[in-house]
């Protein structure tokens, strides 16, 4: 808090307690639905975390199922898959986060440079549309591109044939998939991110650009020396929010595309898909709740670390 | 109030406090309304959910309305079944049961996940109901011996057997017109079938066999569509804790020595040979390459539109009924043949456990278990059974003789095996192919099969739950691609072995052998 603001706050006459409380009723009522929803759907279900420490069965329920200590955590951590799945989760999410933020900034800069209002709106809409396409539909597109009907051929392989290159069996080779998924994510989220950054760009005072023009800056220099630095707070918020979800693996996209194709698990299996598959095949809520709990705790720790690092090294853009 | 004061009232700005209070009140009311049950104060009869596998039959809304009208009149409730695509049925039904969801009945079996459901206490035991005398139609239509053959090791009955033959044999449904064209009108052995597939691929450009991935195609039980050895000597039923885990092969003389000595499937040469064969089929284009991720309904549609020479079938009398109409619409003049290329023909006597592979189970978490049992009794009455299974008579079907039906509408493929199959009530499809009729009749005779030494052996998972879960995860990753032919066999097997060894295969194998030996000793 600045000194001036602090002084102003301190010098403001305090309202009598009764009046302040009465005045706040409206705010309390306005906030109530959101708080209730948060309690019911975010904090209430946390009681279910107890299942992670139980040999849960539906007949005995949450309160009657026997305790199992840390046994449920064994399933994941002694499976031999834990390190690979944790790595995949982090690696894929870092790729997604970096690629979508980068693409968002780049697209926003490009859109900002379009002078014609109609043209700008048109391209803005065009790149935003993929955000509304369901991951299931994306998976069908991808299947058509990478493997035709019956799993053979596909447009990409047809193109390879034109160039006399050998066909690739995309759906049995795990190597390219982190990059394929990243391309899909950029296609899917790039437009959405660009709209956020574009909104931030419109908030940049015109005088700053006028000063740049007076100093003889080119359009490119203004974009990279003025616009990009001023986008840092927005990028920082998106980054911290992204880090908070880094252990959640973007289940919808990955599962819709990879499904139960075991040949691709080596590079695409993340915590969410592993948990979902385990739950589907085992029907065991205890083991899956245990992994979910681990996922949440690590996600929380990462957010705290990201925020602290941000406060230490880029205090002006820190969100807390 | 004067016009002036009225105008002043309208133009007076809403105070900030008033706006906040009004907005908050509206949002709170909306939230509470969203949390309400949605009842509009009118009473209506109960509607019970059911789980059924497969796609929604054409004209289901009309048939369901007729079923519900009669149900409402007879029993005072209605049903609202949820159809779950076969690709997801096993996992979704398991999840719904273990989450305690409220529905009445579902299909389950050992090849699905009944062991897990019983262990989780998710199924309602039926013994008391069956002896109560309250459900006379059900007990009259399902033989007590059939119930007894499907008792769980704890002595309880957890499901109504919904089968219409003695033995269910995995086999091929092949295009008869293509067999006429490329195989001289007849296929009797697996070698001839394989040659037919290659000829069709070469000359028609379509795969020989199309289906989604399953270990049963590759390893057989005792026959598998792609498992050549099973057609030579169909005398092996693998042992497993669940069908998505590792299959074990018991010693061939276990019944006489009392020692099971089961080994993982890769130590049984015919199975390894089968993996190599399927890999070759995959590379040659004989089988569809998208077995790992294709949707079963999509694959059925591909076969029905003429996209493959053969697909999977089981001896339940639904080969022709399930495909012929759609196929002949897409490929005029096409026909279907039921193909079981046993070396010894109909005297092969394949091993069977005679355990029902379709059991209609009652959800322990159902809101009204008595209603579930009443429903199972209600569908055991001929008139009701026919309505549900074949649709409205005169609109959807006509009787063909005493025990046949001829579809005249589009209503088809109701999954009766998940609710209403009762041997004495089943009607035969009037246009059933000659070959299917012959094999279907054969499959109804118990003497045509050999009772497996492990006929009523049902292993118990309790002691090895964690290891089993980890092995299942390893099989999903490394085993399924092998069954699909999608990876090199040696490399894939090495990865699978390493993964299941680390997951505790030795302990699981030892536990299976211990339980199987105890079972043999008790016989």
Q: What is the pLDDT of residues A67-108, one digit of tens each?
A: 888 888 887 887 778 889 989 998 999 999 999 999 999 999
Please state the separation of Cα B358 from the chain's center in Å.
7
Report the gap between the CA of B50 and the closest CA in chain A (Å).
18
CB contact under 8 A, A33 and B499: no
Contact B28 A269 (CB under 8 A): no
Diameter of chain A by CA atoms? 83
CB contact under 8 A, B20 and A277: no
DSSP code string of B344-399: TGGG---EE----S-EEEEBTT-S-HHHHHHHHHHTTSHHHHHHHHH-SBTTTEEE
Interchain pair A75, B91: CB under 8 A = no
pLDDT at B144 over 60: yes
Give the minimum alpha-carbon distance from A316 to chain B in angstroms, rounded to a whole number: 33
Q: What is the pLDDT of residue A70?
A: 87
Is the pLDDT assigned to residue A235 strictly greater than 50? yes
Q: Is A277 on the interface with B (CB under 8 A)?
A: yes
- Can you tell me the distance from the alpha carbon of A132 to that of A261, in angstroms, rounded to the nearest whole number? 25
% of chain B residues with pLDDT over 90: 70
> Is residue B36 over pLDDT 60?
no
Residues ≥6 apart with Cβ < 8 Å to B301: B326
| CA distances (Å), origin A34, targets A27, A31, A37, A313 | 12, 6, 5, 34
A53-62, B7-16, B104-113, B344-353: segment of lowest average pLDDT: B7-16
Q: Chain B: nearest CA to A191, how far in angstroms?
A: 29
Q: How confident is the model at residue B6 (pLDDT cuts 50, 70, 90)?
A: very low
Tens digit of each residue's pLDDT (9 = 90 or more) over A148-171: 777 788 899 999 989 988 888 898
User: In this predicted structure, what is the pLDDT of residue A140?
Assistant: 87
Tokens standing for residue A284? 């065991």
Distance from CA of B8 to the nearest CA of A (A): 25
Q: Which of A311, A186, A158 is nearest to A253 (CA)?
A: A186
Q: Are B107 and B53 in contact (CB under 8 A)?
A: yes
Mean pLDDT of A51-63: 81
A227-231, A252-256, A299-303, B203-207, range with the lowest pLDDT: A299-303
What top-level class would CATH report for the domain B170-349+431-451? alpha beta
Q: Cα(B85)–Cα(B53) distance, rounded to whole angstroms?
A: 6
Q: Which of A151, A271, A274 to mutate to test the interface with B (most CBs of B within 10 A)?
A: A151
User: A72 to chain B: nearest residue by CA?
Assistant: B466
Higher pLDDT, A207 or B514: B514
pLDDT the model gives residue B8: 43
pLDDT of residue B44: 55
CB contact, 8 Å: A15 with chain B? Answer: no
Asked if B320 and B412 touch (Cβ cutoff 8 Å), the reply is no
Q: Does A80 touch chain B (CB under 8 A)?
A: yes
Q: What are phi and psi of A28, to 5 degrees?
A: -65, -45
Question: What is the distance between the alpha carbons of residues B218 and B491, in angstroms, rounded to a whole number?
Answer: 18
Facing residue for B28 by CB, picked from A33, A74, A152:
A33
Q: State the pLDDT confidence band at A8, using cuts at 50, 70 and 90.
A: very low
Q: From chain A, pick out residues whose CB is under 8 angstroms from the CB of B94.
A: 280-281, 283
Q: What is the mean pLDDT of residues B150-173?
A: 90
**A167 contact B CB<8A:** no
Contact B473 A280 (CB under 8 A): no
Find chain A residues with C-beta within 8 A of B502's C-beta: 79-80
Partner residues linked to B206 by β-bridges: none
Å from B509 to nearest chain A CA? 17
Judged against a pLDDT cut of 70, whether residue B426 lies above it is answered with yes
**What are the structure tokens assigned to A206, written together?**
């015109």
Tell me, what's the ipTM? 0.73
* Beta-sheet pairing, B263-264 with B105-108: unpaired
Residues of chain B in contact with residue A144, where contact means CB-CB under 8 angstroms, are none
CA angle B472, B473, B477 (to 5 degrees): 115
Q: What's the average model confidence in pLDDT over B480-507?
A: 95
Given an 8 Å threshold on Cβ–Cβ distance, is B307 in contact with A31?
A: no
Residue from the list B28, B477, B478 with its beta carbon closest to the beta carbon of A29: B28
| pTM check: above 0.95 | no
- Architecture field, domain A80-317: Orthogonal Bundle (1.10)
**Minimum CA–CA partner of B93 in chain A:** A280
Shortest CA gap B151–chain A (Å):
21
Residues from chain B that touch A259, judged by Cβ atoms under 8 A, are 292-293
Per the CB < 8 Å rule, is A147 touching B122?
Answer: no
Are A93 and A250 within 8 A, CB to CB?
yes
Calpha distance B487→B154 (Å, rounded) = 41
Q: Do A151 and B285 touch (CB under 8 A)?
A: no
Query: A20 touching B, CB under 8 A?
Result: no
Structural domain spans, chain B:
46-166+355-426, 170-349+431-451
Determine, for residues B477 and A269 on separate chains, whether the beta-carbon distance falls below 8 Å: yes
pLDDT category at B306 given cuts 50, 70, 90 is very high
CA distance B115 to B461: 8
Q: Contacts of residue B244 in chain A, CB cutoff 8 Å? A: 281
Contacts 24+ apart (CB under 8 A), A138-142: A138/A184, A138/A188, A138/A253, A138/A256, A138/A257, A139/A256, A139/A257, A139/A259, A142/A180, A142/A184, A142/A257
Contacts of B302 (CB under 8 A, 6+ apart): A149, A150, B210, B288, B308
Total length of chain B: 523
> For B326-361, what is each residue's pLDDT tens digit?
999 999 999 999 999 999 999 999 999 888 889 999
pLDDT of residue A206: 87
A37 part of contact set with chain B, CB < 8 Å: yes
Q: Looking at beta carbons, which residues of chain A come within 8 Å of B118?
A: none
Contacts with B293 from chain A: Cβ below 8 Å: 143, 151, 171, 258-261
Residue A21's pLDDT band (cuts 50, 70, 90): low
The verdict on A279 touching B (C-beta cutoff 8 Å) is: yes
Mean pLDDT comparison of A210-219, A238-247, A258-267, B196-205, highest-scoring range: B196-205
On average, the pLDDT of chain A sits at 84
* CA–CA dist A253, A96 (Å, integer): 11
Does residue B465 carry a pLDDT above 80?
yes
Question: Does the structure show a pLDDT above 80 at B156?
Answer: yes
Q: pLDDT value at position B368?
A: 92
Phi, psi angle pair for B338, to nearest 5°: -85, 125
Angstrom distance (rounded) from CA A169 to CA B487: 11
Residue of A32, A136, A283 to mutate, testing the B interface (most B Cβ within 10 Å of its Cβ) = A283
Instruction: Give the span between the Cα atoms of B29 and B433, in whole angstroms.
Output: 63
- Which class for B513: exposed (0-12), middle (13-18), buried (19 or more C-beta within 10 A)? buried
H/E stretch holding B312 reads strand B310-314
Q: What is the number of other CB atoms lying within 10 angstroms of the CB of residue B97? A: 27
Cβ-defined contact of B24 to A28 (cutoff 8 Å): yes
Distance of alpha carbon B71 from the chain centroid: 26
Which residues does chain B have within 8 Å of residue A36's beta carbon, measured at their own beta carbons?
A: 28, 31
| CATH of the domain spanning B46-166+355-426 | 3.40.190.10
Using alpha carbons, list the distances in angstroms from residue A302 to A119, A249, A272.
41, 14, 17
Cβ <8 Å between A58 and B364: yes
pLDDT at B3: 40
Work out the mean pLDDT of chain B and round it to a whole number.
Answer: 90
A and B: number of Cβ contacts within 8 A: 159
With CA atoms as reference, report the closest residue to B226 among B284, B176, B155.
B284
* Contact call for residues B17 and A23 (beta carbons, < 8 A): yes
Q: What is the mean pLDDT of residues A292-299?
A: 85
Output phi, psi for B264, to 5 deg. -60, 155
Q: What mean pLDDT comes out for the span A229-247?
A: 83
Q: CA neighbours within 13 Å on the CB side: how many for A40?
A: 10
**Cβ-Cβ contacts under 8 Å for B487 (sequence gap 6 or more):** A172, A263, B279, B481
Grouping H, G, I as helix, E, B as strand and the rest as coil, residue B52 is strand
Mean pLDDT of B9-16: 55
pLDDT of residue A317: 63
Q: How far apart are CA A222 and CA A263, in angstroms?
A: 48
Q: Considering chain B, what percentage of its residues have pLDDT values greater than 70?
A: 91
CA B193 – CA B286 distance, rounded (Å): 11
Count CA atoms closer than 13 A to A69's CA, side-chain side.
3
- The pLDDT, as a whole number, for residue B1 is 38
B447: closest CA of chain A, how far (Å): 36
Tell me which of A57, A153, A262, A275 to substitute to probe the interface with B (most B C-beta atoms closer than 10 Å). Answer: A262
- Count of alpha carbons within 13 angstroms of residue B66, beta-carbon side: 17
Q: Looking at chain A from residue 177 to 216, which residues have their Cβ under 8 Å from any Cβ of chain B?
A: none
B353-375 average pLDDT score? 92
pLDDT score of B34 more than 70: no
Where do the H-state alpha helices sit in A205-284?
206-214, 219-222, 228-230, 232-244, 251-258, 265-268, 271-282
Tokens matching residue B488: 């090199």
Residue B145 has a pLDDT of 81
pLDDT at A219: 87
> A17 pLDDT band (50/70/90 cuts)?
low
Long-range pairs for B187-196: beta carbons < 8 A, 24 or more residues apart: B187/B337, B187/B339, B187/B341, B188/B341, B188/B345, B189/B231, B189/B341, B189/B343, B190/B228, B190/B231, B190/B232, B190/B341, B192/B341, B193/B310, B193/B339, B193/B341, B194/B228, B194/B286, B196/B309
Q: What are phi and psi of A102, to 5 degrees?
A: -60, -45
DSSP string of B233-263, one letter each residue = ------B-SSTTS--EE--TTHHHHS----E
Q: How far is B207 from chain A (nearest CA, A)?
A: 9
- pLDDT tens, residue by residue, B433-449: 999 999 999 998 989 99
Report whether pLDDT(A279) > 50.
yes
Element (H, E) at A105: helix A82-113
Return the residue matching tokens 């009522």: A29
Secondary structure of B475-522 as H, E, C letters: HHHHHHHHHHCCCCHHHHHHHHHHHHHHHCHHHHHHHHHHHHHHHHHH
Report, as an integer, the average pLDDT of B280-287: 96
| Cross-chain residue pair A150–B302, CB shorter than 8 Å | yes
User: Residues 106..145 of A with a Cβ closer than 8 Å to B: which?
Assistant: 143
CB A54 within 8 A of CB A65: yes
CA gap A152, A167 in Å, rounded: 10
* Mean pLDDT computed over A291-300: 85
Is-contact B172 B310, C-beta < 8 A? yes
Q: Which of A22-31, A289-298, B176-185, B511-520 has the lowest mean pLDDT?
A: A22-31
Residues 6+ apart with CB under 8 A from B15: none
Contacts of A37 in chain B (CB under 8 A): 31
pLDDT of residue B160: 95
Q: Are B435 and B339 in contact (CB under 8 A)?
A: yes
Answer whether residue B450 shows pLDDT above 90: yes
Which of left, alpha, beta for A79 (phi over 0: left; psi -120 to 50: alpha)? alpha
Question: B487 vs A172: CB contact, 8 Å cut-off?
Answer: yes
φ/ψ of residue A35, rounded to 5:
-65, -40
CA distance A173 to chain B (A): 9
Per the document, the length of chain A is 320
How do the domains of chain A map onto residue ranges? 80-317
The reply to whether residue B24 touches residue A262, judged by beta carbons under 8 angstroms, is no
Q: How far apart are CA B487 and CA A266, in angstroms?
A: 13
The alpha carbon of residue A199 is apart from the nearest alpha carbon of chain B, in Å, by 27
Which among A147, A261, A281 has CB closest to B91? A281
Tell me the C-alpha distance between B437 and A222, whole Å: 81
**What is the average pLDDT across B307-319?**
94
Instruction: Return d(Cα B234, Cα B248) in angstroms, integer.
Output: 16
Question: What is the per-residue pLDDT for B40?
Answer: 43
B24 to A32: CB separation less than 8 angstroms, yes or no: yes
B377-401 average pLDDT score? 95
Two structure tokens written together for A185 = 């994510």
């Amino acid at each position: 808090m600045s000194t001036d603001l602090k002084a102003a706050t301190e010098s403001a006459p305090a309202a009598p307690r009764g009046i302040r409380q009465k005045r706040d009723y409206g705010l309390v009522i306005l906030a109530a639905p959101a708080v209730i929803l948060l309690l019911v759907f975010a904090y209430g279900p946390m009681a279910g975390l107890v299942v992670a420490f139980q040999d849960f069965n539906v007949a005995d329920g949450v309160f009657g199922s026997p305790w199992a200590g840390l046994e449920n955590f064994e399933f994941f951590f002694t499976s031999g898959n834990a390190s690979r799945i944790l790595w995949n989760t982090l690696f894929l999410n870092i790729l997604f986060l970096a690629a979508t933020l980068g693409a968002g900034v780049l697209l926003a800069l490009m859109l900002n440079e379009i002078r014609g209002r109609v043209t700008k709106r048109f391209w803005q809409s065009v790149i935003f549309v993929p955000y509304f396409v369901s991951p299931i539909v994306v998976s069908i597109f991808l299947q058509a591109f990478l493997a035709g009907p019956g799993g053979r051929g596909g447009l990409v392989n047809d193109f390879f044939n034109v160039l006399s290159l050998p066909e690739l069996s995309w759906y049995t080779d795990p190597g390219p998939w982190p990059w394929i998924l990243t391309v899909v994510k950029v296609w899917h989220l790039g437009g959405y991110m660009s709209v956020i950054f574009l909104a931030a760009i419109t908030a940049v005072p015109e005088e700053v650009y006028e000063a740049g023009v007076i100093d003889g800056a080119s359009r490119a220099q203004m974009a990279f020396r003025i616009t990009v630095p001023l986008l840092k707070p927005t990028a920082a918020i998106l980054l911290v929010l992204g880090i908070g979800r880094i252990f959640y693996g973007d289940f919808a996209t990955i599962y819709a595309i990879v499904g139960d194709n075991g040949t691709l698990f080596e590079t695409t299996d993340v915590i969410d898909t592993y948990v979902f598959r385990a739950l589907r095949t085992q029907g065991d809520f205890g083991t899956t709740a245990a992994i979910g709990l681990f996922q949440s705790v690590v996600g929380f720790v990462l957010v705290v670390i990201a925020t602290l690092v941000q406060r230490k090294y880029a205090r002006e853009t820190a969100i807390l | 109030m004067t016009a002036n004061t009225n105008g002043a009232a309208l133009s007076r700005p809403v105070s900030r406090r008033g706006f906040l209070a009004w907005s908050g009140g509206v949002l709170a009311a909306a939230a509470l309304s969203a949390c309400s049950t949605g009842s509009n104060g009118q009473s209506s009869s109960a509607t019970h959910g059911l789980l059924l596998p497969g796609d929604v039959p054409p004209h289901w809304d009309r048939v369901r309305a007729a079923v519900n009208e009669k149900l409402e009149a007879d029993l005072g409730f209605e049903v609202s079944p949820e159809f779950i695509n076969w690709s997801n049925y096993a996992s979704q039904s398991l999840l719904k049961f273990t989450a305690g969801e409220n529905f009445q009945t579902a299909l389950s079996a050992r090849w699905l996940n009944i062991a897990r459901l019983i262990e989780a206490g998710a199924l309602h035991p039926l013994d008391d109901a069956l002896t109560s005398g309250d459900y006379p139609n059900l007990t009259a239509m399902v033989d007590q011996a059939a119930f007894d053959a499907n008792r769980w090791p704890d002595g309880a009955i957890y499901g109504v057997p919904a089968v219409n033959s003695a033995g269910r044999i995995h086999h091929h449904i092949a295009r008869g017109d293509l067999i006429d064209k490329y195989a001289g009108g007849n296929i009797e052995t697996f070698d001839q079938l394989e040659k037919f597939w290659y000829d069709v691929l070469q000359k028609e450009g379509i795969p020989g066999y199309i289906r989604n991935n399953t270990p049963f195609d590759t390893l057989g039980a005792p026959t598998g569509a792609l498992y050549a050895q099973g057609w030579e000597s169909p005398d092996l039923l693998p042992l497993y804790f669940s069908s998505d885990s590792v299959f074990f092969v018991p010693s061939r003389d276990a019944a006489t020595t009392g020692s099971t000595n089961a080994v993982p499937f890769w130590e049984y040469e015919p199975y390894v040979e089968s993996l190599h064969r399927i890999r070759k089929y995959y590379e040659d284009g004989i089988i569809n390459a998208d077995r790992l991720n294709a949707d079963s309904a999509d694959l059925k549609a591909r076969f029905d539109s003429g996209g493959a020479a053969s697909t999977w079938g089981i001896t339940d009398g639904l080969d022709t009924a399930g495909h012929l109409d759609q196929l002949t619409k897409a490929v005029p003049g096409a026909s279907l043949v039921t193909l079981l290329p046993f070396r010894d023909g109909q005297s092969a006597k394949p091993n069977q456990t005679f355990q029902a592979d379709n059991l209609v189970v009652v959800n322990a978490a159902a809101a009204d278990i008595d209603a579930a049992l009443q429903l199972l009794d209600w569908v055991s009455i001929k008139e009701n059974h026919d309505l549900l299974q074949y649709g409205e008579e005169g609109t959807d079907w006509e009787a063909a003789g005493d025990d046949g039906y001829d579809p005249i509408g589009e209503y088809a493929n109701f999954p009766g095996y998940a609710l209403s199959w009762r041997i004495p009530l089943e009607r035969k499809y009037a246009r059933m192919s000659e070959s299917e009729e012959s094999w279907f009749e054969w499959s109804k005779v118990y003497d045509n099969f050999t009772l497996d030494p492990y006929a009523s052996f049902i292993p118990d998972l309790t002691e090895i739950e964690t290891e089993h879960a980890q092995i299942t995860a390893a099989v999903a990753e490394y085993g399924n691609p092998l069954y699909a032919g999608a990876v090199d066999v040696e490399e894939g097997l090495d990865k699978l072995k390493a993964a299941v060894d680390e997951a505790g295969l030795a302990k699981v194998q030892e536990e299976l052998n211990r339980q199987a030996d105890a079972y043999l000793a008790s016989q």
